[in-house]
Amino acid sequence: MSITLTHYLTLSAILFSLGLLCVVTKKNAVTVLMGVELILNAANINFVAFARFVDTNLDGQIFAVFVIVTAAASAAVALAIVLNLYERLRSIDLDEADSLAR
Amino acid sequence: MSIFDIVFYAFAALTVVSAAILVFSRNVIYSAVGLLFTFFGVAGIYVLLAADFLAVVQILVYVGGILILLLFGVMLSQRVTSSELGAGTLRMLPALIVLSGVLAILLRMVYKTSWSSLPASDFNPTSAKIGTLLMTDFLIPFEIVSILLLAALIGAAFIARKERS
Amino acid sequence: MQEFIRNFASSQSILPAPVIYILFMTVSALVLASLAAILALIGVYLERKISAHMQNRLGPMYVGGWHGWAQTIADAVKLLLKEDIVPKAADKLLHLMAPFIVFAATLAAFAVLPFGRNLVVSDLNVGALYVVAISSFVVVGIILAGWASNNKWSLLGAMRSAAQIVSFEVPATLAILVPIMIVGSMNLGEIVNYQVGGIHKWLIWKFFPFNLMAFLIYFVASLAEVNRAPFDIPEAESEIVAGFHTEYSGMKWAIFFLAEYANMFLVGVIGATLFLGGWSSPFGSFLNSGPLPVLWIFLKAFGLIFVHIWLRWTLPRVRVDQLMYTCWKVLLPFAFVSLVGVGIYMVL
């Protein structure tokens, strides 16, 4: 097999920068959350690739399980906050959510 | 060019193309569909890395939970007459430049380091080992994560409810 | 089957090995797709005949001569030729994609079903969990269908269906966990091998009454997963027009219904594999050889489908709040009780 560790690391670097681009550029709050999920997936690929190629006692996979679970919890709470924001501001444009006083 | 390489490149292409659709599309629902296929591509990569249990958990939690949550969030917070919330080109260009710089630094570091990698071993099932590890070495994080999930459940339900006026 | 393909690929030198693997994947996908389509056709015909006889009428009688057996084929041809209407303000790409996502999800789960002694397309070590994961993929297709139709009834039906399927996955997964715990493996082939040897070894009778409870919980939750009555609020014809497939006509609607009946068959086979002995004969080793295991699994799956159809035409539809009450306040506690009960039984 000619697929080595660097292939997986390259893939995860590309995914990470695409996720970061999404978080930095988008105005829609839900799309920003999607970018965060992309970043977490890129980190997970890194963990699992190292668990396979460097350290074979599956610690990386356990860590990836915990990352998945934490991402689920954070997505739930973040979406609850976004819905609350929509109730108050009637829009989820992040540029409009710029003061604490409303 | 063995079948393993072909499958790896196919899943990697699926993941990267779907992530690009997610980032560069103006329609939020198209971004959500791009996210769906990204999750599938990442699950395929996990299978190639001999993490079979993790791949199925990825589909179960991410596609079956988080993606549906995101879709509900999108649908419950879009006004019918609003225009699409996208990013203009003016905002995209500096971000693209800076982030290609970030990508270049990451790739330089990946290719410059001499990773001490073992040769790829054969594919063993991992579910039993993950179960044992979760109950022995990683018991405390496991319990803390379950409390975290309980707190997130109660918190999200409390924050998102309609206020009774 | 994997070793057969591997030996075949390495033993001949006409085509390189990757091409053989891709060819095998394509052929098995086509076989499974046609199997799903044929089973859906048989399911539709069975539903019309059985519901007819339960309602003291005859059902299809003309098409094909003997008791109208070709009625579904005629219906399929009609649907192929029907005009495909897409609403003007609907999202065309998503409107096209949604039925295929639903069908692809159901088809992907067929790949791990054991139809005979070595007749599995893909013998996964996490087979049971994979089936649960793929069922959650169906929800995404339904939500996209509801959204893409640009119709408030579709959106409402899609959201209700999504909430229903996602809620009922929790007791269904806990009920599936019970045979996994007893056998010690998530591999569907191993679970069937544990039950080979006669009806007394089937997992539904073991550790009475907890496994029976788990089977009933799985059956009721699977009724909700395939949107069948009495849980068919998402498709209720008298309440919400036609739910998420209101704006679908012709072949796309046919794909939705194909997916629903294939899903019904899938749930029947999973229930038969996990609790009713899979492809093993109930008489021990009497009728267990040759191609007969395939007959046994189909008989058991169609038996469960018969109970699905029977319940549809007997029970009235439940309200949405009654549905959620059933899931979270009735099925879930009983699922936990059966899980803990089996655990204690196994330790003592």
How many CB pairs lie under 8 A apart between chains B and C?
A: 72
CATH of residue B11's domain is 1.20.120.1200
Q: Determine contact, residues B59/C136, Cβ cutoff 8 Å.
A: yes
Q: Residue C215 is encoded by which pair of tokens? A: 């089977």
Return mean pLDDT, chain C: 86
How many domains does chain C divide into?
A: 1
Q: Is C266's pLDDT higher than 90? A: yes
Please give the average per-residue pLDDT across C38-61, as a whole number.
Answer: 88
Q: How many CB atoms lie within 10 A of CB B164?
A: 4
Please give the torsion angle defined by the CA atoms of residues C1, C7, C9 and C12, in that order, rounded to the nearest 10 degrees.
-140
Q: Is C234's pLDDT higher than 80? A: no
Scanning A28-67 for CB atoms below 8 A from B yields 28, 30-31, 33-35, 37-38, 41, 44-45, 48-49, 51-54, 56, 58-59, 61-62, 64-66
Q: Residue C238 is encoded by which pair of tokens? A: 């008298």
Find the range with the poorest average confidence among B125-134, B153-162, C229-238: C229-238
- Contact call for B and C: 3+ CB–CB distances under 8 Å: yes
The CATH fold assigned to A5-92 is: Helix Hairpins (1.10.287)
Q: Is B161's pLDDT higher than 60? A: yes
- Do B12 and B53 sit in the same domain of this protein? yes
Q: Residue C14 is encoded by which pair of tokens? A: 């006409």
Helices (H) and strands (E) in chain C, counts: 12, 0
Q: Hey, are the CB atoms on A72 and B66 less than 8 Å from each other?
A: yes
Look at residue B164 in the predicted model and tell me its pLDDT. 61
- Its domain, for residue B134, covers 124-165
Q: Which residues of A touch B141 (CB under 8 A)?
A: 66
Look at residue B9 in the predicted model and tell me its pLDDT. 94
Least CB–CB distance from B60: residue in C133, C159, C186: C133
Which helix (DSSP H) or strand (DSSP E) does residue B111 occupy?
Answer: helix B89-112
Which pLDDT tens digit goes with each residue over A19-35?
A: 999 998 888 889 999 99
Q: Hey, are the CB atoms on C136 and B65 less than 8 Å from each other?
A: yes
- Do B28 and B93 sit in the same domain of this protein? yes
Q: Which residues of B touch A74 (CB under 8 A)?
A: 152
Residue C34: which residues within 8 A CB-CB, separation 6 or more? Answer: none
Look at residue A11 in the predicted model and tell me its pLDDT. 95
Q: Distance between CA atoms of C15 and C12, rounded to whole angstroms?
A: 7
Look at residue C213 in the predicted model and tell me its pLDDT. 93
Return mean pLDDT, chain B: 87
| Res. C242 pLDDT band, cuts 50 70 90 | low
| Residue B99, min C-alpha distance to chain A (Å) | 6
Look at residue B82 in the predicted model and tell me its pLDDT. 47
Is B12 among the domain residues?
yes
Give the three-state DSSP class for B25.
Answer: coil
Please give the average per-residue pLDDT across B102-107, as a whole number.
Answer: 93
Q: How many CB atoms lie within 10 A of CB A4?
A: 14
Q: Hey, are the CB atoms on B156 and A38 less than 8 Å from each other?
A: no
Q: Distance between CA atoms of C190 and C200, rounded to whole angstroms?
A: 17
Scanning A2-21 for CB atoms below 8 A from B yields 2-11, 13-21
Is C286 among the domain residues?
yes
Look at residue C240 in the predicted model and tell me its pLDDT. 56
Q: Is C238's pLDDT higher than 70? A: no
Give the three-state DSSP class for A93.
Answer: strand
How many CB pairs lie under 8 A apart between chains A and B?
A: 219
Q: Is C318's pLDDT higher than 50? A: yes
Look at residue C136 in the predicted model and tell me its pLDDT. 86
Which of B11, B37, B59, B66 should one mutate to test binding to chain C, selecting the residue with the greatest count of C CBs within 10 A?
Answer: B59
Cα–Cα distances in angstroms (integers) from residue A75 to residues B70, C93, C147, in the given order? 8, 27, 21
Which pLDDT tens digit goes with each residue over B12-65?
A: 999 999 999 999 888 888 999 999 999 999 999 999 999 999 999 999 999 999
Please count the CA atoms within 13 angstroms of the CA of A35 that sit on its side-chain side.
Answer: 20
Is B161 among the domain residues?
yes
Is C118 among the domain residues?
yes
Which pLDDT tens digit goes with each residue over C244-256?
A: 777 777 788 888 8
Return mean pLDDT, chain A: 89
Is B99 among the domain residues?
yes
What was the ipTM of the complex prediction?
A: 0.90
Q: Hey, are the CB atoms on A14 and B145 less than 8 Å from each other?
A: no
| Res. B146 pLDDT band, cuts 50 70 90 | very high
- Do B160 and B95 sit in the same domain of this protein? no
pTM of the model: 0.91
Look at residue B81 in the predicted model and tell me its pLDDT. 43
| Residue A26, min C-alpha distance to chain B (Å) | 6
Find the range with the poorest average confidence among A19-23, C194-198, C304-308: C194-198
Q: Residue C186 is encoded by which pair of tokens? A: 């998530």
Which pLDDT tens digit goes with each residue over C140-189?
A: 998 998 888 877 778 888 888 888 899 999 999 999 999 999 998 899 99
Which chains pack against C, by 3+ Cβ pairs within 8 A? B
Q: Distance between CA atoms of C149 and C147, rounded to whole angstroms?
A: 6
| Residue B51, min C-alpha distance to chain C (Å) | 11
- Do B100 and B160 sit in the same domain of this protein? no
Q: Residue A83 is encoded by which pair of tokens? A: 């819905």
Which pLDDT tens digit goes with each residue over C322-336?
A: 888 999 999 999 999
The type of residue at C281 is S
Q: Which residues of A touch B23 (CB under 8 A)?
A: 18, 21-22, 25, 35
Please give the average per-residue pLDDT across B90-102, as a whole number.
Answer: 86
Least CB–CB distance from A17: residue in B73, B99, B126: B99
Which chains pack against A, by 3+ Cβ pairs within 8 A? B
DSSP string, C245-313: GTT--THHHHHHHHHHHHHHHHHHHHHHHHHS-TTS-TTTTTT-STTHHHHHHHHHHHHHHHHHHHHHT
Is C131 among the domain residues?
yes
- Do B31 and B100 sit in the same domain of this protein? yes
Closest CA to C260 of C174, C116, C98, C138: C138
Q: Which residues of B touch C143 (CB under 8 A)?
A: 68, 71-72, 75
Which of A10, A14, A17 should one mutate to test binding to chain B, selecting the residue with the greatest count of B CBs within 10 A?
Answer: A17
- Its domain, for residue C240, covers 90-347
Closest CA to B47 of B126, B134, B132: B126
Q: Is C341 exposed, middle or buried (0-12, 13-18, 19+ CB in 10 A)?
A: middle
> For a pLDDT cut of 90, what percent of chain C falls above it?
30
